[in-house]
A = this chain, B = another copy of it.
């Protein structure tokens, strides 16, 4: 099923450290290649509503093997994927979810982050992805 718990925890910890460094309070979720949760943390006082969003971002990124924001660009009114968010029990299509690739370039999981601006969310998710580069 792709990503191991150890790898998922490495990604979560790197994202957590980035969030502390940035002074933001995040929910951080990692799913495996089957889009099932492997590791999750909610920082103290992070938005409660971001719990579900972080998990949905991770799932969405794996569901379509692309950063969540890329889907959001297509799901706007008039866009080719308008209202795709109604599928799969609810998608989140703004930035903060990113697929994670193994050393062979295959996607074997995804990370989702929520708790601040979408720019912050994406930056924290990226820190998680980078921590696994080459693994």
Which A positions have Cβ atoms within 8 angstroms of B?
A: 1, 4-5, 8-9, 32-44, 47-53, 56, 60, 62-65, 72, 75-78, 80-94, 117-118
Contacts and interface: CB of A to CB of B under 8 A. Distances in A.
Given A77-B76, A77-B77, A83-B75, A5 B41 contact: yes
A92 B85 contact: no
Nearest 8 pairs of A and B residues by beta carbon: A34-B34, A49-B63, A40-B40, A86-B90, A85-B86, A83-B85, A52-B88, A53-B87
B34 A35 contact: yes
B48 A34 contact: yes
B80 A94 contact: yes
Contacts of A89: 52
A50 to B, nearest CB: 8
Given A49-B87, A86-B91, A118 B81 contact: yes
Given A35-B48, A72-B82, A43 B91 contact: no
Nearest to A121: B80
Contacts of A38: 41-42
